[in-house]
Amino acid sequence: MRHLKFFLMSCFVAAAFLFTRVSAKCNTCSLNGIACLTEQSFHICHRTRSDASQIFNCPEGHVCVADAPEKCVPNAVADCAVEHNICGACDGSKLFTCLTPTTFAQCNGTSLLRHISGSCPNVLTCDSSRPEICVANGAECS
């Protein structure tokens, strides 16, 4: 009986992880093996790395979603929608914001201080939601 309870609890926890929405970002490899670039285009990922050699497009009326079994879904909000991909915006909650996939600038509350800026080293991209601004597979801005 004890093993059955453990098994059922494990199944419940696993199911909860499967149905939890992932907060995807542009150009970031996701669980379904793609990295959305725009609302309607994506790269295929290999071992958590985006393969930039080819860009794939969703069919007309479909948008790129990174947390669904299908890569392109009709009547959905795209993971890389314009309103989700605000570059150079300071919302008062962070010290830096990304300007491009590899550059960033300092924030002072909701003011952008473009003159205090920096660039990420090679192979790293900007992700202002993390403590370390330059990370592997960040690319907050497209």
Q: Average pLDDT by consecutive 10-residue portion of the chain (142 residues)? A: 49 35 61 82 83 84 84 82 65 83 87 88 83 77 62
Same domain, 75 and 90: no
Given a contact cutoff of 8 angstroms between Cβ atoms, the answer to whether 97 and 141 are in contact is: no
pTM, rounded to two decimals:
0.46
Instruction: Note whether residue 141 is domain-resident.
Output: no
* CA count, 13 A, side-chain hemisphere, 113: 11
What range does the domain containing 92 cover? 86-135
Give the Cα separation of 53 and 136 in Å (integer).
18
Instruction: Note whether residue 57 is domain-resident.
Output: yes
Instruction: Note whether residue 16 is domain-resident.
Output: no
Instruction: Note whether residue 91 is domain-resident.
Output: yes
Domain count, the chain: 2
Instruction: Note whether residue 10 is domain-resident.
Output: no
DSSP helix/strand/coil, 84: helix
Same domain, 98 and 123: yes
Give the Cα separation of 104 and 85 in Å (integer).
14
Same domain, 78 and 30: yes
CB environment 15-30: b (16+ within 10 A), e (fewer): eeeeeeeeebbbbbbb
Same domain, 65 and 91: no
Looking at residue 1, what is its pLDDT? 58
